[in-house]
Structure 1
Amino acid sequence: MRYLARSADGTVLLGDDEGFVPLAAADSSLQTMGDALRRAPEGLPAPGDARAARIPAEDITFGLPLAPVKKLWGIGLNYADHAADLHEVRPEEPASFVKPPSTATGPGGPIRLPDPEITNRVTAEAELGVVMGRTFSYVDEDEFDDVVAGFVPIIDMTAEDVLEKNPRFLTRAKSFDTFLVAGPWIAVPDSPTEFLDSVAVRTVVNDEVIAENTLEGMLFEPPELVSFHSQVMTFEPGDVISTGTPGAGVIEPGDSVRAEVDPVGVLESEVR
């Protein structure tokens, strides 16, 4: 498996389990994250063949890998157990919403909570993000491997008290600055569809596992989500569908939140 990342200074990186190299050192025709995402469905070069030595992941300060941020789709109530916990009716179609690019921040965040007079109950939710690698629309589920670049851990936030006032306030409840953390990298497997069989997602707050599940617990799995939303809009490289959470935890200033998305990676952020 390959990994695509961006360092804190903006350098685009290509990696594997042994470390990372500058993307251009592996292939001079790949200069941007967009170049790499478009190449990903075909296969990325090997970091070991690059004209640079690998740098271990622990020696890198990672930035937001999605920059520049494009379309961010979220999926609500996509795990049956989570919908039951909230006493919500299971949707017959994906319950989706869009978050603005200004919500996105990189590993470590921090997640900045709004003024308590606006919202005093914010929850954090670990999710698997699907990153697109092609410009496409109207694709079938069996074309998933042809259009997807890879997967990224995501921490999504919701101002629950805002949402409880009226379900039509969902966009506002999801759209505060820093209400989506992504990273530290995009995992690029050889076969995205087969890779999904091994994925598990855990929401962790202050080292306490709040909720966990595998994708078998989803109502709508990623290939269906991509196909469904491609009937609505044209996707472009770097667009993301965050596929829903197995469960959310209330967060307060000083807390630490983790999205553990096996085997994609672990994403952590502080709360302020």
Structure 2
Amino acid sequence: MKRARILLDGTVHAAVEEEGRLRLSDGRLVALDGDGPETVTWLPPVEPRTIFALGLNYADHAKELAFKAPETPLVFLKGPNTITGHQASTRRPADATFMHYECELAVVIGRTARDVPRDRAYEVVAGYSVANDYAIRDYLENYYRPNLRVKNRDGCTPLGPWLVDAADVPDPMNLSLRTLVNGRVTQEGSTRDMIFDVPHLIAYLSSIMTLSPGDVILTGTPEGLADVVPGDTVTTEIEGIGSLVNHIVPDSITANR
């Protein structure tokens, strides 16, 4: 099942996809694109608690950046302020000369978990979503330690549109992903090329700290990064999970969150 959260008439609604439309928890059906009398604002499909982000988790991406692939997961944390929804806008800092997208499989934890063995890791997954974890290359001091300005800016990580139930994704480690900028494909890859797969990440993280429902793991991005500028529309897609659209705006414009 594909689940979503939307804002309609000033009220937040849980919704599910039904025959190309949204079925709200109150029973109403509304259009996905907001055409007609309803104006739908997409929210992130979950309200994240802790957000774990993986750096250099695809060997081709590490090579693209002239880095050696890490021997253990390279993990940093992000604040909930970074998350925004489908069809939202993200600001490009006025002084940035290189801001790039990162198409990533997002893993959403479904229950409290500590010291989860690898062979039981999928049992704690609620579902999967698409993330686009923008980075501002200018502010990066060290790829192994992304600083606050690189990865924790307001609205710098679109998430959605859907949370797809784990039961509906039989093999999350064999999904194609790609990014399009203004309709042109600029990035292609597959989750099978992760250095540390989803079970490994869950086992590793839960050995360090307790995972809780709503925690999100952003699993990294493959090679194919490109600069994006105000006016660009960036679409990140993952097979069977969804297509997430985001719009780049100047820093002078307040981006919707």
Structure 1: runs of 5+ lacking an equivalent: 26-51
- The DSSP-based 3-state class of the residue aligned with 2:147 is helix
Percentage of matched positions with identical amino acids: 32
Once the two structures are TM-superposed, the CA of residue 115 in structure 1 deviates from its matched residue by 2.9
- The DSSP-based 3-state class of the residue aligned with 1:251 is coil
Structure 2: runs of 5+ lacking an equivalent: 250-257
| Bigger fraction of residues in strand | 2
Instruction: Check conservation: 1:125, 1:249, Cα contact below 8 A.
Output: no
Cα displacement string for residues 15-68 of structure 1 (whole angstroms, at most 9, x for unaligned residues): 355543234x5xxxxxxxxxxxxxxxxxxxxxxxxxx36545345735223453
Instruction: Check conservation: 1:130, 1:152, Cα contact below 8 A.
Output: yes
Q: Which runs of 4+ in 1 moved over 6 A?
A: none
- The DSSP-based 3-state class of the residue aligned with 1:219 is coil
> What pairs up with 1:164-203 in 2 under 5 angstroms?
164=141, 168-190=145-167, 192=169, 194-203=170-179
2:13 to 11, 14, 28: 11
Q: Which residue of 2 aligns with 1:245?
A: 221
How many equivalent pairs are there? 241
| Bigger fraction of residues in helix | 1
> What pairs up with 1:1-272 in 2 under 5 angstroms?
2-9=1-8, 10-16=12-18, 18-23=20-25, 52=27, 54-59=29-34, 61-116=40-95, 119-164=96-141, 168-190=145-167, 192=169, 194-247=170-223, 248-272=225-249
Stretch of structure 1 that moved more, 163-172 or 70-79: 163-172
Structure 1 residues 246 and 184: CA distance shift in structure 2, 3 A:
same
Q: Please give the TM-score of this superposition, normalised by the length of structure 2.
A: 0.86
Structure 1 residues 169 and 183: CA distance shift in structure 2, 3 A:
closer
C-alpha RMSD over aligned residues? 2.1
For 2:3 and 2:65, the matched residues in 1 are separated by 35
- Equivalent AA in structure 1 for residue 80 of structure 2: P
